[in-house]
Every structure is written in structure tokens, then in C-alpha cells.
Structure 1
């Protein structure tokens, strides 16, 4: 295949990157990981250029941060307009209009046919932590329930809510109390011979039993759920499960928090992934692609719930910075004008057709799945046993990088390759990236057989 966009001139890391890697290892802690042994020079749309002259097609999007692409002109212009006027005054000290305008727009867009209000924070973890604070304040209850396999952040409380041990929780306890984990459906790994409907009914029954064996519902402030589990490998629940949990929450006066940090802003073909499941969350947390790379997050929630906290109980020094708010408004403008929700569906259809071909070609692919442009491949050693193949994922990602494609791993067993390409990617760039992926799998399989 003739490559138009991916151009790897030197093996990774290149000579300039090697110098910076040495400095990086001397200055940055070992616990801060990196996926690509390269340093960026520039990035535009779905392409990244490194300091050694290599160009990559980006299927990672800074872990789902760049749905509108790298350095979109509309975002850049908004920041250039804002910076000379003022960079930061602190919304708690001197307010600014962009905060209000972004809050109004997100409240209008979020699911729910009721009055909503919005507040801003700095990161996804901080949004989830504050959502729990708000839920506890409103309900007067302490417990919070998350789902097995879910990822909600790396702070003390969000680590406790996260449903995977390594690398997020291992040796970092003790964790925040009054956090419980209920089961979440992993349909690919349901018991052999069991239908998806029967499996869903079983898990919903276990959630109901959870209120008998683990915690009484009268003590639970909130359930927090990712509409599609991100770090666990893009695990997609069916509508019946999500609605079943939601109905249980309504029955017992428990608030339902939708963690839309990775799924929001068009990734699944809607502004919010919960729109696929026909539920109206009490609180929605957002970040990542919200501002095209600027550090900002938010909580959108029912007005009466959001208003229960007293002045000064919510906020922070940098929460909802002017630069972040302006970037957020620019993102919403781009999404509307360029119809990125529709584009996500088109991208997803194109990816899934390719995945079907790859599944037929390579028996190391156990499952492929997606919703909108949130798509993933799960690798196994054997399709009948479904034994996860973490090592194969590492080889595929390395082979892809050497050919000019950046992608990410994920999964409960670290055996999933996930795709979070910018939604502004062109068809030619997307197709070339998928062809590189196929080459990378081929090379990894051949290498496995030779070794």
C-alpha cells in the first residue's frame, strides 16, 4: 500500500528523541508512563509530526481528548483572542461570560427533560469526585456504588470507585470508605450457552441482591456508571441493563451519575453516550474532548440537586478557566458546523466493516465491537477458551508505531486495542490507518510463529 500520511523516516526512538528520553528518565518519575518513544513537534487534525521528522496517523487522540482534532483553527483562534484580554481571574473572584455561556449550552445539550445547571472543574477525576460530593450533600447518604471494570480516575476517592486493580490501585490503599462495586455486563465473556438477555437478567438480579448482601439502598447516595467502559476495553452494556440499574436507582431514591468523560462530545455518535440508552441521568460528568486539550471538566445536573450545596462548598482556584471555557465553546461550534456526531457514525461503520474482515482473517481476534467511533478489537490466544493475549496487543501496537500509526491498549486483561481517532480524520487517513493496523497484526502473527 502506498502511504500518503504515515511517514516513519527513522526507527523509534529517533536520534533527537533518544536525547530527550535520556533527559526524561532523569527528570520524570518512572510511574509516569509513555506509549510512543517520540516527542511531538507539531500536530494538526489527525496527524502528528515528531522532532525526528516522522509523521503518524493518530488513532489515540490523546486518550480521547481530540475529537475535533489537533489544533483546530477555530480553537486556536478562540485562544488567541482570549489570551491578550485576560488569562485567569478566578471565577470565584471575578466572573466572566464564557463560563456562563458554556454552562448554558451544556445544560441544553445534556440528556434530561428538566432544568439543569453546570459547574466546571479541572479534570475528569475531579468532576467525578465532586459529583459524589454533590450526591452525598443532596441525599444525606454516604455510600457510592460503581461497576466492576469501571474507571473513574486516580485520586483517592476515584481510585476506590475504579474497578480494576493494576495499574491504578495496586499498593495504593487504603482507599476511601463507603465505596462498593456491583457487577457490569461483559457480553463477550458471558457464560457459554447463555443468551445475552438471560445474562442481562442474571446480572440485574445480582444488582438487586447486592442491596441485600452488601449495602442497604437507603444508605446509597449514588450509582456511577460509564455508558461504555473505556479503560476496560470499550465494554458496551445493552439498554436493558442500563435502564434496569437506572430504574433501581429511581425506586430507592439513589442518584444516577453518568461518567461521560471518555464517551462524551460525539465519540459514540451523540453528544452524550447515555442518549443511546434512553435514560436521564441526575448528574453527568464530562472532560477530555470537552475543550480540545485544555484542562477543564464539568458536572451537569438537575437544578435542585446542583443547588443544594452552599456557596463556597464547591469550586477551586482554576475550575473553569477562561481559556478552557473559550475552547469549550469553540468545540461545540465545531461539532455543530462540521456535524461531528454524524461523522462519528460514518467513521464507526467504516471501522467495523474493516474489523469484520480482520476477524475473518486473524483467529487471534476474539471479538470486535463499537458504538459510533468508539471501537475496539479484543485479542485472544484461542477463540474457544477466550484466553486473553496481552502480549499480542503489545506486539501489534509496536508494529503499528513503527509503520506510523498511534493506537492504545485497554481492557480488563490488557488485551484490547482501542481506537479514539479525531472525528475530523479524513476517509483517506482513516483507511490508511486501518491498512497499517492490518499490516501490524500480520507482522505480529508471523513473528509469533517464527519465534
Structure 2
């Protein structure tokens, strides 16, 4: 691992008990009062999964203003993988705050920016020489990857995939597949974005023929899409190695490797969007490692800086250096406090325990939840890698999405003090994103609450389903 300079220690608060505790109903009276104030002051354009207000967070626990300790199966949507109050993140960020908060890296420089870039150059997949650019948000990383690919290739079109999610900015909304809530009423969108089939093992037309057939069918569709629009017009193809908001879909084995071959044949830049699946979430540092595939460009964000806003575009040196000086940047790009937090996150991965715990989380969750496919008629699939896992609800035979079941199961978990999120194009999937530091006893408790909720709701689920409605977050 790259040597990372030490930071001075700061006083530490007492850790939160790593156990679920219900002091009031959820949400409690203080949260309800604060929610009323929120509604009076904050735009209604922000959704919320669980209207509770958090006072402290530590490890796998969120403690609200009413004293409830809630098991965190969300990690701020895969952000707080090292815990929401990681000691080294606090120390390094606090030490940097004492020195200075900001200078703008395009005006005067600071060492931590290059240290973060060096670590990412050395740890993202690919044995080629790399360069890194730092930004603030995942959407910024995606947009800048497109800029870099277009600059390097002189082409304009971008290939994206069914069930993709890439952000909320105007370009990344165009790249995102799900309309409601992300794209609804926000068009028109930038042109030159083309969508191709993905290799969803559950919902592919070739699903009954096995993973190899699913991958082959999707790759043939990709080639056909490129041919239709002219393969020589495409600057980039952007793919999530495990799709996030689209449903935590793990593509059929061989699909990513096939995309690598297609990109090479047509001179297209392959961009791996690891914003949600990267930084150890799937049990390897980057999810594409499971398939042995390296993108020409790899995107990082979310868990990169332990809760502070930081994103990165890391890619082949010749691609990254194709942009003219001044063509990349941003006022807050690679903020020094966020860079120090990222260096602390890198420290946390040094001994391998976080990656091992991600794999242990998968083992425990698979043992508790995978049998529900056989034990119920409405759990269509349990899937995922590491601590990025999902339960999909659908009617048997037709696979009609059951968003109603996902919503009710999630609501029951919330009432019992377990925070879960829904996702998927039809909102029919519960996704699990526990912090990688979650202890085994806390994990088992949360999984049992979820399992019981699914069994109870599934036992009463009718044969017919109401019209599926997307979740709004």
C-alpha cells in the first residue's frame, strides 16, 4: 500500500452501543416536530426514505434525536462504508481544518490531492500507466469521463445500458434509464446518448438458457446497436459493474469481458462507473475485479472519502492527458479536507479486514435471505456481491414487479429499527448496503428483522398485484 503521512490525534467521543434499541415509535416525537419544520422550509423536491433526524452515528448504528438506535443497512447510499464516524477520517479531516479549508487546486496546490491520485492510480484495475482527476460528486465524475473520452477520440456518442443510473445532472439524467423520479419533467436532454440492452440474468429473454446465453444475447444486442448508430461515432460506453439504482443487477458472467472486447475492436473508451460498487463494497476494492476486467477509465465517489464530497476519474494516462490544460477542474474539485478523509479511508483498507467483512456480510445475508426464493412465492431473486445485496419481489411465472411488497417490507423494517432502501426501475427491490464495519451480531439482528418482515408480508400477499409504482428517493 502507498505510504500515507500521519495526522495528529483529536479527542474521541464515546462509541455508540452497537445494538438496536427502540426508545419511541419510529419516527418519534422530536423527529416528527423536526419533519414539520423541514416541510415548512425545504423544497418538496427532496424525497426521504425514513423521516427520522439523526443525532449521532457510529459503526452500523444511527441514533436519532429521540434516542432510537437504528441498524443502518443503507450507509448513506453506499457512502459511509468505513462507518459514519470513522476515527481516522475524523482525525485527518480535523487536522486539515486546522491548517486551511480551501484554496482551490487550480489556484494554489496542496499535497493531499496528488496523494489521493497516486493511491487511485495504483489500486484501480488495469496494469497500464494512469492519471487521476478529482472532483466533488459522482455526477461530476461521469460528466468529466465523457468529456475526456470525447476529447481523446474526437467522437461524440455515448453508449449506456438498460437499468443504468449515472446521476442527476442534465447529461447524467440522459444517461440514466429510470424516468420517475430522476428524469420526469426535466427534459429535453442532451443528444448523442444511445441505450443498449444489459445482461440481467433474471429478466433477459434468454434467462432460461443460462448465464452464458444471457451474456451472448446482450452482447449481440450491443453490437447491433453500435452498428445501427455507427460504431465509429462512439467515444465511450459507460457501464456499472454492478448496477445500483437499477436494481443491484450483477450482469451475467462474461458480459463485462465481452464489452471490453467490443470497445477494443471499435476504439471506444470503456468507462467503469464504480461510484456505488467500488471502494470495497463488493468484497474487492473495485467490483470489476470479480470479472477480471479493467476499464480504460474507472470512476470513484460515494465511499471514497468516508462521507465527505469527493469523486475521481482515473484512467489511461494518454486519455487523461488528452484534455487541454484548464479543460478540467472545478472550484471545489478535490477539496483538501475531503482529500484527507480519503487518505484515512485508504488506511482503513490496508489490513484487508474491510474486504473480508464485506464477504462475511454476503455469506450471512445469503444464508438468511436466499432461502426465501423457495420459501415464498414472491421473492424472485436474491443477488449481489459482498455488502451490495438485493431482494427482488415479483409475481411467480410472470415476474410482474411487486413494488407494493417492497414498500410494505421496508416500512415494517423501519418500524422495527432497521433502515432499508428500495430501488429498481419499478421500485420492487430492497437493497442492502450495511457499513463494512458492521459487527456480526448487529448484522444478524437486522437480517432477522428483514427476513421476518418478508415472510409475514409474503404470507398475506395476494395473487394479483396493483400497478407497480417507482420508489421516490
Which TM class, normalised by the smaller chain length?
over 0.9
Task: Give the C-alpha shift of residue 337 in structure 1.
Answer: 3.0
- 1:122 aligned onto 2:156: no
State the alpha-carbon separation in 2 of the partners of residues 100 and 437 from structure 1.
43
Q: Which of 207, 211, 225 is matched with 1:196 structurally?
A: 211
Which position in structure 2 is the counterpart of 1:419? 432
Q: Count how many residue pairs are aligned between Structure 1 and Structure 2.
A: 446
Task: Give the C-alpha shift of residue 342 in structure 1.
Answer: 1.8
- 1:14 aligned onto 2:34: no
Which position in structure 2 is the counterpart of 1:141? 155
Task: Give the C-alpha shift of residue 132 in structure 1.
Answer: 0.2
Q: Which of 435, 440, 450 is matched with 2:448 structurally?
A: 435
Contact 2:389 2:432 in 1 (8 A): yes
Q: What TM-score, normalized to structure 2?
A: 0.92
Task: Give the C-alpha shift of residue 201 in structure 1.
Answer: 1.5
- 1:393 aligned onto 2:415: no
SS at match of 2:254: helix
State the alpha-carbon separation in 1 of the partners of residues 265 and 426 from structure 2.
34
Q: Which of 367, 374, 397 is matched with 1:384 structurally?
A: 397
Task: Give the C-alpha shift of residue 195 in structure 1.
Answer: 2.9
Cα-Cα RMSD: 1.6
Task: Give the C-alpha shift of residue 104 in structure 1.
Answer: 0.2
Matches within 5 A, 1:328-339: 328-337=342-351, 339=353
Cα distance change on mapping 1:193 and 1:421 into 2, 3 Å = closer
SS at match of 1:239: coil
Contact 2:214 2:252 in 1 (8 A): no
Q: Which runs of 5+ in 2 are unaligned?
A: 1-16, 463-473
State the alpha-carbon separation in 1 of the partners of residues 458 and 224 from structure 2.
44
Task: Give the C-alpha shift of residue 443 in structure 1.
Answer: 3.7
Task: State the Cα deviation string for residues 348-406 of structure 1 (Å, max 9, x = none).
Answer: 111111112333332221111121221110011x2222111101111111100110100
Which position in structure 2 is the counterpart of 1:52? 66
Contact 2:212 2:253 in 1 (8 A): no
SS at match of 1:222: strand
Contact 1:120 1:296 in 2 (8 A): yes
- 1:205 aligned onto 2:220: yes
Matches within 5 A, 1:230-269: 230-269=244-283
Task: Give the C-alpha shift of residue 304 in structure 1.
Answer: 0.8
Task: Give the C-alpha shift of residue 338 in structure 1.
Answer: 5.3
Which position in structure 2 is the counterpart of 1:216? 230
Contact 1:399 1:444 in 2 (8 A): no
- 1:85 aligned onto 2:99: yes
Cα distance change on mapping 1:362 and 1:9 into 2, 3 Å = farther
Contact 1:122 1:318 in 2 (8 A): yes
Cα distance change on mapping 1:135 and 1:391 into 2, 3 Å = same
State the alpha-carbon separation in 2 of the partners of residues 35 and 343 from structure 1.
26
SS at match of 1:189: coil
Cα distance change on mapping 1:112 and 1:338 into 2, 3 Å = closer
Q: What TM-score, normalized to structure 1?
A: 0.96
SS at match of 2:277: coil
Task: Give the C-alpha shift of residue 210 in structure 1.
Answer: 0.9
State the alpha-carbon separation in 1 of the partners of residues 226 and 305 from structure 2.
39
Cα distance change on mapping 1:205 and 1:357 into 2, 3 Å = closer
Q: Which runs of 5+ in 1 are unaligned?
A: none
Task: Give the C-alpha shift of residue 237 in structure 1.
Answer: 0.8
Task: State the Cα deviation string for residues 286-305 of structure 1 (Å, max 9, x = none).
Answer: 10000110001000010011
Matches within 5 A, 1:222-371: 222-337=236-351, 339-371=353-385
Which position in structure 1 is the counterpart of 2:164? 150
SS at match of 1:431: helix
Contact 1:144 1:222 in 2 (8 A): yes
SS at match of 1:205: helix
Contact 1:226 1:260 in 2 (8 A): yes
Cα distance change on mapping 1:239 and 1:193 into 2, 3 Å = closer
Task: State the Cα deviation string for residues 103-154 of structure 1 (Å, max 9, x = none).
Answer: 0011000111111011100100000000000000000011111111100001
